[in-house]
């Protein structure tokens, strides 16, 4: 590989990645959420949500993305998308945490990421 091209999404497009882990210094994440979107006239546009550390590969949260796309930002629509996200997440069982706890944390991370990005 000699180069990687990452196209810009345009002015106002924002993104965040948050992860949950027991110790910040060395632990691998128990749950992670990447969120990216633009806002046009207060409505979500080109939203992308990806979960990681819950399965053997990243999970595209399609149901949550569909719930938010074109909708105006408000707490109700974010909570609805969070419910969709939890419904679509099926964490593998491991020694670090129960699947239920990791699923719940993914939803909390999602809500935090959206909140941070709205205020950018």
Helix (H, G, I), strand (E, B) or coil at 94: strand
Q: Is the dihedral of CA 43, 109, 31, 20 positive or negative?
A: positive
C-beta of residue 10 within 8 angstroms of C-beta of residue 38: yes
Q: What is the count of structural domains for the chain?
A: 1
* Residue pLDDT, tens place only, 20-37: 987 777 777 889 999 999
What CATH number does residue 31 fall under? 3.30.390.50
* Residue pLDDT, tens place only, 47-65: 999 999 888 889 999 999 9
Tell me which H or E stretch contains 44. Answer: strand 43-52
* Residue pLDDT, tens place only, 68-108: 999 999 999 999 999 999 888 888 787 677 888 889 999 99
pLDDT of residue 75: 94
With respect to residue 88, please indicate whether it lies within any of the assigned structural domains. Answer: yes
With respect to residue 1, please indicate whether it lies within any of the assigned structural domains. Answer: no
Of the candidates 86, 65, 85, 78, which has an alpha carbon nearest to the alpha carbon of residue 112? 78
Domain of residue 98, residue span: 14-118
With respect to residue 97, please indicate whether it lies within any of the assigned structural domains. Answer: yes
């Amino acid at each position: 590989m000699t180069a990687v091209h990452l196209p810009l999404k345009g002015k106002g497009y924002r993104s965040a990645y948050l992860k949950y882990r027991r110790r910040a210094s060395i632990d691998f994440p128990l749950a992670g959420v990447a969120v990216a979107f633009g806002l046009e006239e207060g409505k979500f546009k080109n939203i992308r949500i990806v979960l990681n550390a819950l399965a053997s590969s990243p999970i595209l949260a399609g149901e949550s993305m569909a719930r938010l796309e074109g909708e105006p930002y408000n707490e109700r629509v974010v909570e609805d998308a969070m419910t969709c996200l939890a419904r679509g997440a099926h964490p593998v069982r491991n020694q670090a945490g129960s699947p239920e706890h990791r699923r719940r944390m993914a939803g909390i991370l999602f809500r935090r990421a959206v909140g941070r990005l709205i205020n950018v």
